[in-house]
Structure 1
Amino acid sequence: MENKKKVLFVAHVDSHIQAFHIPFLKMFHDYGYEVHVASHGEHVFESCDIKHDLPFERNPFHTHNLKALRQLKKIINQYNFDIIHCHTPVGGVIARIANRMSKHYKSTKMIYTAHGFHFFKGAPLKNWVIYYPIEKICSHYTDILITINKEDYKIAQKFKLKKTGKIQYVPGVGIDMDKINSIQGNKKKLCEELQIPINSVLLLSVGELNENKNHKVVIECLPNLPNNIHYLICGIGNMKESYEQLAKQLHVSNRLHLLGYRNDVIEIMKSCHIFLFPSKREGLSVALMEAKACGLVCIASRIRGNTDLITHQKDGYLLDLSKFQKDVVDIILRQQDDFPKIIQTSLKSMETYNLQTILKEMKKIYGLEF
Structure 2
Amino acid sequence: MKALHVFTIINTPKSFFDGQFRYLAEKGHSIHVVSDSPEDLDFSRENDITYHQIPIARKISPFRDLSSIARLVALINKEKFDIVVGHTPKGAMVAMIAAKLAGVKSRIYYRHGLIYTTAIGAMRWLLKTVEQCTAALATNIINVSPSLSKLAVKDRLNSPEKQRVIGAGTCGGIDTENIFNPALINTAEKS
Which category describes the TM-score, using the shorter chain as reference length? 0.7 to 0.9
Q: How many equivalent residue pairs?
A: 178
CA deviations 1:177-232 (Å, max 9, x no partner) are 6x46xx8x97xxx9xxxxxxxxxxxxxxxxxxxxxxxxxxxxxxxxxxxxxxxxxx
Secondary structure of the structure 1 residue equivalent to 2:109 = strand
The answer to whether structure 1 residue 97 and structure 2 residue 97 are counterparts is yes
Q: Structure 2 counterpart of 1:60, which letter?
A: I
CA deviations 1:99-143 (Å, max 9, x no partner) are 1111x33x3x211122110122x6423442111111111212112
Contact 2:16-2:174 at 8 Å conserved across structures: no
Give runs of ≥4 in structure 1 deviating > 4 Å: none
Contact 2:22-2:49 at 8 Å conserved across structures: no
Deviation at 1:62, TM superposition (A): 5.0
1:74-85 superposed matches below 5 A: 74-85=74-85
Structure 1 pair 150/75, CA: closer, same or farther in 2 (3 Å)?
A: same
Report the equivalent of 1:200: none
Q: Structure 2 counterpart of 1:110, which letter?
A: R
Contact 1:156-1:167 at 8 Å conserved across structures: no
Give structure 1 stretches of 5+ with no counterpart.
191-233, 236-258, 263-370
Contact 1:14-1:39 at 8 Å conserved across structures: yes
Q: Structure 1 counterpart of 2:50, which letter?
A: I
Deviation at 1:30, TM superposition (A): 1.4
The answer to whether structure 1 residue 20 and structure 2 residue 16 are counterparts is yes
Report the equivalent of 1:50: 50
Q: Give % identity.
A: 22
Contact 1:118-1:127 at 8 Å conserved across structures: no
* Structure 1 Cα separation of the partners of residues 116 and 59 of structure 2: 16
Report the equivalent of 1:111: 108
Q: TM-score, normalised by structure 1?
A: 0.44
Structure 1 pair 32/85, CA: closer, same or farther in 2 (3 Å)?
A: same
Higher relative contact order (CA 8 A, sep 6+): 2
Structure 1 pair 65/86, CA: closer, same or farther in 2 (3 Å)?
A: same
Contact 1:25-1:47 at 8 Å conserved across structures: yes
Report the equivalent of 1:10: 6
* Structure 2 Cα separation of the partners of residues 95 and 69 of structure 1: 7
Contact 1:8-1:81 at 8 Å conserved across structures: yes
Report the equivalent of 1:30: 26
Structure 1 pair 261/75, CA: closer, same or farther in 2 (3 Å)?
A: same
Q: Structure 1 counterpart of 2:51, which letter?
A: K
* Structure 2 Cα separation of the partners of residues 148 and 79 of structure 1: 28
* Structure 1 Cα separation of the partners of residues 129 and 146 of structure 2: 20
The answer to whether structure 1 residue 130 and structure 2 residue 126 are counterparts is yes
CA deviations 1:124-164 (Å, max 9, x no partner) are 23442111111111212112212223442123222346xxx
Q: TM-score, normalised by structure 2?
A: 0.81
Contact 2:96-2:137 at 8 Å conserved across structures: yes
Contact 2:8-2:37 at 8 Å conserved across structures: no
Q: Structure 2 counterpart of 1:261, which letter?
A: E
Give structure 2 stretches of 5+ with no counterpart.
none
C-alpha RMSD over aligned residues: 2.5
